[in-house]
Amino acid sequence: MLLIWYLICLPKTLFNDSTSTVITSRTGTLLGAKIASDGQWRFPHNDSVPEKFETCIILFEDEYFYKHLGFNPISIFKALKDNINAGEVKRGGSTLTQQVIRLSRKGQNRTYLEKIKEIIFATRLELRDSKQDILAYYASNAPFGGNVVGLDAASWRYFNRDPKHLSWAETATLAVLPNSPSLIYPGKNQQRLLEKRNRLLKKLFDKGIIDQLTYELSLEESLPEKPYPLPQITPHLLQQIAHTNKGERVQTTIDKGLQEQANAIVKNHHHILKQNEIHNIAVLVLDVHTREVLTYIGNAPTTKDNHKDVNIIDKPRSTGSILKPFLYAAMLDSGDLLPHTLVSDIPSQFGNYTPENFNKEFDGVVPASQALSKSLNVPAVKMLQDFGLDRFYQYLKVLDLKDLKYNANHYGLSLILGGAESNLWDLCKSYAAMSSTLNHYTETSSEYFTNEFIEPTFFASETLDFGEKSNDKILFNAASIYLTYESLKEVNRPEGDESWAFFDDSKQVAWKTGTSFGFRDAWAIGTTKDYVVGVWVGNADGEGRPGLVGVQTAAPILFDIFDILPNSDWFSKPFDDMQSVSICVKSGHRASPVCDTTKEEFIQLNGLKTEPCPYHVLVHLDATESYQVNSSCEELTEIKHKPWFVLSPLQTYYYKTKNPLYKPLPKLRSDCLGDQNITMSFIYPKANHTIFLPKDFDGKTNDMVLKVAHSKPDSKLYWYLDEQYIGTTKDIHDLAILPKAGNHTITVVDEFGNEVKQRIKISE
């Protein structure tokens, strides 16, 4: 029975104390720690004991550690003799093994009976565990003064570095502390602690462990004056990991050098931005190939009043324009669009929704790639309407944007301009998945991986599985991603007209900015073949600020981060998913027989089903090319046949302002018979709008100026307000009126009998 009791007397787990949550970098360097729930700085158990500490602690506490079986009879006898002579406990005589047992049996009185129990348990521990394990138990649980427990915590608190990097003097200081932990209090007992340390150094020298020079230099080293704060290099990642791995030591994928440089960049930008009362910044850097998190900055080093402890990375925020590349890629993927297909950019109303471009201007028509790179809102909404809201929503669901919690109709067409919410983690994950898809396609035999859209990881112990190879795309095909990135790698394309030199053009980065309604959220996300960098700037409480624009606040941080990353080659072109075709230079469509200027371009295979150029028509002109003619007024031999690039009147009105060389379709010569298509459209006001007429300083109400675009500008137009004639215009079709408050119908009739109407409401 005694033998059975002896075999089971020792608990399987000696120490059950709560421990600090500790995170380290990918190379094992401490990034941060969170104090244990009992208020102690007690790092999780560490099996590794530095050689210097092992030498010092054995020499100081238990010189026969490797020779005894848990207790030292000679030491016990000497201690017993000294204690009897003194009439009190003056000496313990305990081995390191016994001290481990005593540390594990907290709160036990130091009696002779307890000493006997310690000896029995110590021998059992010696039989069960190795000497190295026992040393590790001691190093991880010995008291080092104050609320510091264990060698790891003590080394960082008193010397601000890892124990394996301590000098002999520093190691000796820590070795003598568990014997008298009260000596470490700053400013107190410094002389006694110094004497104990120096006695141990003398022992090390006498035994030939350290040489004369090391000994003399060690004596000159000073003692720690006060505890250092533990590193907090990634405080928000520590907070995140503490939720799932509380009290554990976790090795992360964080690159410490990169993290510290990024921290400095964010600190510098925060110092500037806070002058405009913009207080919060989040940054995430992912490795495209491994999907590991290299840098994790959950917030700027702001104040508690400005929510410095809030981790923005996983918080839902309005997306602004950051989803536009997904729509562009989806339309390329489905074959609804070619990279440079012209998209209408004119004042438009979609039901009750009237989007506007950031710069309040319109281009008439614009290449889809340019609409993306300039982040134009009206073309984006038009593209979404053409593509289909539900259809695009399904693409976003495959991307697993977790903050899309409602159905597509809840968001409407505003989905593409920030009507939905997402977070920096999901958005960076999506861009990384697209980049990785393109990489894998060109690295393999033009194949995809089934688990490409995997969650990134910040755990170094986790290796992600990208699934099996497949000939079928998971979401976007490789060509669509490549062509999207080609549009996004333009470097000088601010959302307004800001003249800001971004960064070295030799670094090719596909990047996109976004700004939410009310200037509450500024985004910038960029990707290379190797890295994805995501930046969010704003206020955690949602307060909007003037100037809180993606290109002005988030993009500079993005490029500063890319500047500290290694250079990357540009993505390889996925030729197997592309085909060279003849493209109309002016329209971006597949060239029709009447396109005047064409070029060969590689497009996605699905793009072969797009329609030929609808903008070029074959017109018949006189010898001077000034008028259209036909056989009724011109000899066939004198008629010139020429392709002509034709836009609608409203598109032409805006297109001419940006393209002065554009030539409208010539008029039909007056002596020719035949019909000419005549069209006209309202420029202002827009349909069903409520209009407030401003007043001057003297209280006089200003006129409202009506504008119409006509395919034959020199035609006469007759204007009516509620069926009452109000004027005629010719050449320039602008008319100033001052209508009364209420609902009105404006009617315009041209001299050929064509008519357009617009309903408006005037409000006082």
Q: What is the pLDDT of residues 368-419, one digit of tens each?
A: 999 998 889 999 999 999 999 999 999 999 999 999 999 999 999 999 998 8
- This prediction's pTM: 0.84
Six token digits for residue 374: 């300039």
Q: What is the pLDDT of residue 726?
A: 85
Q: Where are the alpha helices (DSSP H) in 616-663?
A: 649-658
pLDDT at 577 exceeding the cut of 50: yes
Q: Could you tell me which of 233, 557, 270, 291 has the C-alpha nearest to residue 425? A: 291
Q: What is the pLDDT of residue 296?
A: 98
CATH code 3.40.710.10 region(s) in the chain: 317-498
Position 174 confidence tier, pLDDT thresholds 50, 70, 90:
very high
Q: Could you tell me which of 249, 258, 247 has the C-alpha nearest to residue 293? A: 258
pLDDT at 290 exceeding the cut of 90: yes
Q: Could you tell me which of 689, 727, 726, 681 has the C-alpha nearest to residue 707? A: 681
CA distances from 738 to 218, 506, 667, 726, 728 (A): 93, 56, 34, 11, 16
- CB-based burial label for 567 (10 Å; 0-12, 13-18, 19+): exposed
Q: Give the C-alpha separation, 663 to 657, whole Å.
A: 12
Q: What is the pLDDT of residue 718?
A: 82
- Give the rounded distance of the alpha carbon of 178 from its chain centre: 46
Q: What is the pLDDT of residue 81?
A: 66
Q: What is the pLDDT of residue 78?
A: 67
Position 207 confidence tier, pLDDT thresholds 50, 70, 90:
very high
Cβ-contact 402, 426 below 8 angstroms: yes
Report pLDDT digits (tens) over 617-628.
888 988 888 888
pLDDT at 502 exceeding the cut of 50: no
Report pLDDT digits (tens) over 418-462.
889 999 999 999 999 999 999 999 998 899 999 999 999 999 999
- CB-based burial label for 305 (10 Å; 0-12, 13-18, 19+): exposed
pLDDT over 70 for what percent of the chain?
A: 94
Residue matched to tokens 């805006």: 654
- CB-based burial label for 568 (10 Å; 0-12, 13-18, 19+): middle
Six token digits for residue 357: 């471009």
Fold entry, domain 680-763: Immunoglobulin-like (2.60.40)
Bond prior to 685 in cis (omega within 30° of 0): yes
Q: How many CB atoms lie within 10 A of CB 689?
A: 14
The mean pLDDT of 636-658, rounded to a whole number, is 86
Q: Give kind and range of the element (H or E) at residue 440.
A: helix 424-443
Report pLDDT digits (tens) over 719-739.
888 878 788 888 888 888 888
The mean pLDDT of 264-286, rounded to a whole number, is 96
Q: Give the C-alpha separation, 374 to 366, whole Å.
A: 10
pLDDT at 481 exceeding the cut of 60: yes
Report pLDDT digits (tens) over 345-355.
988 777 667 78
What CATH number has the domain spanning 317-498?
A: 3.40.710.10
Q: Give the C-alpha separation, 239 to 237, whole Å.
A: 5
Q: Give kind and range of the element (H or E) at residue 262.
A: helix 256-273
Six token digits for residue 440: 């894998």
CATH code 1.10.3810.10 region(s) in the chain: 2-220
Q: What is the pLDDT of residue 496?
A: 39
The mean pLDDT of 257-278, rounded to a whole number, is 96
The mean pLDDT of 687-701, rounded to a whole number, is 77
Residue matched to tokens 């134009």: 376
The mean pLDDT of 747-756, rounded to a whole number, is 80
Answer yes or no: CATH 3.40.50.2300 is held by domain 2-220: no
Position 612 confidence tier, pLDDT thresholds 50, 70, 90:
very high
Q: Which of 163-177, 197-211, 651-665 has the lowest mean pLDDT?
A: 651-665
Q: What is the pLDDT of residue 495?
A: 41
Six token digits for residue 153: 């915590």
The mean pLDDT of 525-546, rounded to a whole number, is 95
Q: Give the C-alpha separation, 561 to 526, whole Å.
A: 10
CATH code 2.60.40.10 region(s) in the chain: 680-763
Cβ-contact 372, 379 below 8 angstroms: no
Q: How many CB atoms lie within 10 A of CB 442?
A: 18
Q: Give the C-alpha separation, 551 to 501, whole Å.
A: 11
pLDDT at 675 exceeding the cut of 70: no
Q: What is the pLDDT of residue 501?
A: 45
The mean pLDDT of 568-595, rounded to a whole number, is 94
- Per-residue HEC secondary structure of 539-599 comes to CCCCCCCCCCCHHHHHHHHHHHHHHHCCCCCCCCCCHHHEEEEEEECCCCCECCCCCCCEE
Q: What is the pLDDT of residue 505?
A: 54
Report pLDDT digits (tens) over 57-115.
999 988 888 988 877 777 667 666 666 666 655 555 688 988 888 888 886 776 777 77
Report pLDDT digits (tens) over 231-257.
999 999 999 999 999 999 999 999 999
Q: What is the pLDDT of residue 86?
A: 62
Q: What is the pLDDT of residue 493?
A: 42
The mean pLDDT of 650-663, rounded to a whole number, is 86
Mean pLDDT score of the chain? 88
More confident residue, 507 or 287: 287
